[in-house]
């Protein structure tokens, strides 16, 4: 019983305890839950108000700037372009573009007049159309300036907003127009390096050009001076490294501002350096003479009878400033005798001359870093005698100035083929110049001849003091409607220096120059282009730090040729250099 009672008592007690503890437990659990919940709320409150509140006090003003607006990440920022010394030529900047939400516009007239004050160069018609439209978004103006953005912010109209857009910017404006080129609004390269290296740039990588900004400026200045001095239509000029073919400066005039490429006219956009092909005239005598010296065992004393014009079929070959005598090789070259050069060409023969031109890269379209490359105009093969003879002095075939300069570089640099480049390559990936196109001896002879042309011949005006400049004039009549016109010339000069071991090739071409008083009415290469080359060489010296006392006139390489030069009269002031 006791046992039973006890058992029972415990049972009752247990039951009692059980019921009581369940309620108690639930209550206390609820209590703990509420305490914890309030604690969480309290802590969260503390966190938000005190802990994080402290953090929010940083520069709110700065954060409100537009520059935080992210440009849609899909578009990679286009790579920059630098000159060979790392000077910035093209960059992509984030600029604000202004849009309007027409549904929020309350007073369109007021908004329009505010906008016209804020952005003076606004296209009012376009803006008005955007404001009056029935949709919720319209561009007012792309790529506004920071100042204009500030003006807009001061209007404080909630209907207006900004979105960041990429804009290509060319700090040098028109200095690099044809070499650098430009892009469309979507960042697609349309010309120049922007087009030629579009894949590299659009992947976000930078490009370094071979051009030296300072030399580019020098060439542009001097070509435009030659153009204005002789009221010419157009011009081109370049400096090339004679060994590597790197273009150190390349100018085509007239040019245009890359930042306003859309407004440029076609004749401004035309690249006269690598796309335009021109009959460059007597410059080709460099190559026909080199071909003769390379392929035939002909000494400098070899003579050509230039007393009478040559008749080839219906064509008569004349000398423009006829010496009317028997001339040696150096004389033919320095006086730029068409008759003599034609005879040289005939000696070489059509097929061999064509092959020689081909080796120098004058026949085929040149491979270059730009896509704008003109195809040379060359008479159809095989060359008959008449063709061969006219082609020897540069008549009846047209090339681009840059192609011509590269061929001249190959002739003077010791005989290695040069292919021009406009963009720096990584070490070891450069264009190789290891193909020999003529012998070292021929190259040396040609250097002497070119130097002689400047010391005694048609290129005298290119002689820069203190530098052994050598070169060749080229004056060609332009063909207008199939007829050559004596009053419309292309006057050009290609030079190289220092002539004992040339490092630079400099070329200037002027389209339709008109003679002036200073040039005694002449508009030929010796008067127009040669002085420009001289001025370029002079300025190059100060830019590149080339000392002028390294040249010793007593050691001049052209002195070797003097025994073969028999001038009847001293070089007159009037040199009509063709």
Partner 1 sequence: MRVAFFKYVVVIMLVVLSGAVLMEVSQRVQRAEREISRLDRKIERERERVRILDAEWAYLNDPARLEAMARAGLEMSSPEAGALISNTSTIPDIDVFVEGASSMTRDISYQKAVP
Q: For residues 52 and 381, which CB has a smaller minimum distance to partner 1 in the complex? A: 52
Question: Do residues 497 and 537 touch, judged by C-beta distance below 8 A?
Answer: yes
Rule CB under 8 A: choose which of 84, 94, 225, 375 binds partner 1. 94
Q: For residues 183 and 392, which CB has a smaller minimum distance to partner 1 in the complex? A: 183
The two structure tokens encoding residue 111: 């908004």
Rule CB under 8 A: choose which of 24, 301, 316, 550 binds partner 1. 550
* Number of helical H runs and strand E runs in the chain: 19, 14
Query: Shortest approach of partner 1 to residue 340 CB, angstroms?
Result: 32
Enumerate residues 418-477 that contact partner 1 by CB under 8 A.
464-467
Q: Is 314 in the site for partner 1 (CB under 8 A)?
A: no
Binding segment (CB under 8 A) for partner 1, from list 117-125, 210-218, 374-382, 385-393: 210-218
Q: Is 260 in the site for partner 1 (CB under 8 A)?
A: no
Number of residues that bind partner 1 (CB under 8 A): 42
Q: Is 221 in the site for partner 1 (CB under 8 A)?
A: yes
Look at the block and give the residue holding tokens 């027409």. Answer: 102
Look at the block and give the residue holding tokens 């804020």. Answer: 118
Query: Shortest approach of partner 1 to residue 207 CB, angstroms?
Result: 15
Beta-bridge mates of residue 40:
none
**HSE-up of residue 230 (Cα within 13 Å, Cβ side):** 37
Question: Do residues 363 and 378 touch, judged by C-beta distance below 8 A?
Answer: yes
- Closest by Cα among 513, 475, 511 to 494: 475
Kindly state the helix (H) or strand (E) to which residue 489 belongs, with its residue range.
strand 483-497
The pairing of strands 483-497 and 138-141 is unpaired
Q: For residues 289 and 538, which CB has a smaller minimum distance to partner 1 in the complex? A: 538
Binding segment (CB under 8 A) for partner 1, from list 168-176, 264-272, 279-287, 386-394: 168-176
Q: Is 548 in the site for partner 1 (CB under 8 A)?
A: yes
Count of positions (residues) in the chain = 578
Rule CB under 8 A: choose which of 30, 45, 93, 377 binds partner 1. 93
Rule CB under 8 A: choose which of 85, 107, 231, 542 binds partner 1. 542
Write the DSSP symbol of residue 483: E
Mark 53-82 with x for binding to partner 1 (rule: CB under 8 A) and - for no binding: --x--x---xx-x-xx--------------
Q: For residues 44 and 566, which CB has a smaller minimum distance to partner 1 in the complex? A: 44
Beta-bridge mates of residue 238:
250, 507
| d(C-alpha 486, C-alpha 89), whole Å | 41
Q: For residues 65 and 184, which CB has a smaller minimum distance to partner 1 in the complex? A: 65
Q: For residues 497 and 564, which CB has a smaller minimum distance to partner 1 in the complex? A: 497
| d(C-alpha 253, C-alpha 235), whole Å | 5
Query: Shortest approach of partner 1 to residue 392 CB, angstroms?
Result: 34
Rule CB under 8 A: choose which of 78, 141, 208, 214 binds partner 1. 214
Q: For residues 247 and 438, which CB has a smaller minimum distance to partner 1 in the complex? A: 247
Rule CB under 8 A: choose which of 88, 155, 310, 559 binds partner 1. 88
Query: Shortest approach of partner 1 to residue 89 CB, angstroms?
Result: 7
Residue 63's Cα: distance from chain center in Å? 39
- Closest by Cα among 509, 495, 490 to 540: 495
258 CB-contact burial (10 Å; exposed 0-12 / middle 13-18 / buried 19+): buried
Question: Do residues 214 and 86 touch, judged by C-beta distance below 8 A?
Answer: no
Query: Which distant-in-sequence residues (6+ apart) come within 8 Å of 278 by Cβ?
Result: 272, 398, 399, 400, 401, 476, 490, 492, 509, 511
Q: For residues 221 and 321, which CB has a smaller minimum distance to partner 1 in the complex? A: 221
Binding segment (CB under 8 A) for partner 1, from list 118-126, 249-257, 401-409, 541-549: 541-549
128 CB-contact burial (10 Å; exposed 0-12 / middle 13-18 / buried 19+): middle
- Closest by Cα among 258, 241, 239 to 508: 239
Q: Is 169 in the site for partner 1 (CB under 8 A)?
A: yes
Query: Shortest approach of partner 1 to residue 502 CB, angstroms?
Result: 17
Binding segment (CB under 8 A) for partner 1, from list 165-173, 231-239, 385-393, 394-402: 165-173
| d(C-alpha 84, C-alpha 210), whole Å | 5
Query: Shortest approach of partner 1 to residue 88 CB, angstroms?
Result: 4
Rule CB under 8 A: choose which of 153, 322, 541, 559 binds partner 1. 541
Query: Shortest approach of partner 1 to residue 247 CB, angstroms?
Result: 18
| d(C-alpha 160, C-alpha 173), whole Å | 31
Q: For residues 93 and 351, which CB has a smaller minimum distance to partner 1 in the complex? A: 93
- Closest by Cα among 130, 146, 128, 141 to 185: 141
Query: Which distant-in-sequence residues (6+ apart) come within 8 Å of 357 by Cβ?
Result: 287, 363, 378, 391
- Residues catalogued as catalytic: 282
Mark 19-58 with x for binding to partner 1 (rule: CB under 8 A) and - for no binding: ------------------------x---x---xx--x--x
- Closest by Cα among 334, 335, 357 to 345: 357
Rule CB under 8 A: choose which of 387, 538, 558, 577 binds partner 1. 538
Handedness of CA 9, 10, 16, 20 (dihedral sign): positive
Q: For residues 96 and 281, which CB has a smaller minimum distance to partner 1 in the complex? A: 96
Mark 119-158 with x for binding to partner 1 (rule: CB under 8 A) and - for no binding: ----------------------------------------
Rule CB under 8 A: choose which of 263, 266, 549, 552 binds partner 1. 549
The two structure tokens encoding residue 55: 């953090």
> What is the C-alpha R_g of the chain?
38
The residue ranges that bind partner 1 (CB under 8 A) are: 43, 47, 51-52, 55, 58, 62-63, 65, 67-68, 87-89, 91-94, 169, 171-173, 175, 213-214, 217, 221, 464-467, 537-539, 541-542, 545-550
């Amino acid at each position: 019983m006791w046992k039973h009672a006890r058992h029972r008592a415990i049972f009752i007690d247990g039951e009692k305890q059980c019921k009581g503890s369940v309620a108690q437990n639930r209550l206390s659990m609820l209590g703990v839950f509420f305490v914890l919940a309030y604690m969480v709320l309290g802590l969260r409150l503390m966190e938000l108000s005190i802990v994080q509140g402290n953090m929010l006090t940083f520069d709110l003003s700065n954060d409100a700037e537009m520059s935080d607006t992210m440009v849609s990440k899909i578009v990679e920022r286009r790579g920059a372009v630098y000159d060979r010394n790392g000077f910035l030529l093209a960059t992509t900047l984030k600029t604000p573009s202004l849009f309007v939400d027409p549904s929020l516009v309350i007073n369109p007239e007021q908004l329009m007049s505010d906008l016209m004050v804020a952005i003076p160069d606004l296209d009012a018609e376009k803006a008005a159309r955007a404001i009056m439209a029935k949709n919720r978004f319209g561009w007012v103006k792309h790529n506004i300036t920071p100042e204009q953005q500030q003006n807009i912010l001061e209007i404080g109209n909630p209907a207006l907003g900004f979105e960041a857009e990429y804009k290509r910017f060319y700090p040098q404006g028109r200095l690099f127009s044809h070499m650098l080129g430009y892009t469309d609004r979507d960042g697609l390269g349309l010309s120049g390096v922007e087009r030629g290296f579009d894949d590299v740039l659009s992947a976000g990588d930078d490009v370094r050009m071979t051009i030296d900004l300072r030399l580019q400026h020098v060439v542009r200045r001097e070509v435009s001076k030659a153009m204005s001095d002789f009221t010419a239509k157009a011009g081109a000029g370049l400096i090339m490294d004679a060994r590597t073919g790197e273009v150190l400066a390349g100018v085509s005039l007239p040019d245009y501002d890359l930042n306003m490429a859309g407004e440029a006219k076609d004749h401004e956009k035309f690249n006269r350096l690598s796309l335009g092909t021109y009959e460059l005239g007597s410059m080709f005598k460099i190559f026909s003479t080199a071909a003769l010296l390379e392929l035939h065992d002909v000494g400098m004393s070899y003579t050509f009878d230039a007393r009478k014009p040559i008749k080839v079929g219906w064509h008569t070959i004349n000398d423009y400033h006829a010496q009317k005598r028997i001339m040696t090789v150096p004389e033919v070259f320095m006086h730029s005798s068409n008759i003599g050069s034609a005879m040289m060409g005939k000696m070489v023969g059509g097929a061999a001359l064509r092959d020689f031109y081909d080796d120098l890269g004058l026949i085929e379209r040149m491979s270059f870093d730009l896509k704008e490359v003109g195809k040379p105009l060359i008479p159809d093969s095989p060359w008959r005698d008449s063709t061969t003879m006219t082609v020897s002095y540069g008549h009846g075939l047209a090339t681009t100035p840059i192609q011509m300069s590269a061929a001249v570089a190959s002739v003077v640099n010791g005989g290695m083929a040069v292919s021009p480049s406009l963009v720096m390559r990584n070490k070891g990936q450069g264009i190789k110049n290891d193909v020999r196109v003529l012998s070292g001896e021929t190259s040396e002879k040609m250097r002497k001849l070119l130097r002689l042309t400047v010391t005694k011949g048609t290129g005298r005006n290119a002689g820069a003091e203190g530098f052994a400049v050598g070169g060749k004039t080229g004056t060609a009549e332009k063909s207008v409607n199939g007829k050559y016109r004596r009053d419309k010339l292309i006057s050009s000069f290609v030079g190289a220096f220092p002539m004992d071991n040339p490092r630079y090739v400099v070329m200037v071409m002027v389209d339709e120059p008109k003679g002036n008083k200073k040039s005694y009415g002449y508009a030929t290469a010796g008067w127009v282009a040669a002085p420009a080359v001289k001025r370029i060489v002079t300025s190059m010296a100060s830019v590149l730090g080339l000392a002028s006392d390294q040249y010793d006139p007593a050691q001049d390489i052209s002195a070797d040729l003097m025994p073969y030069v028999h001038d009847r009269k001293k070089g007159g002031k009037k040199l009509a250099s063709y």
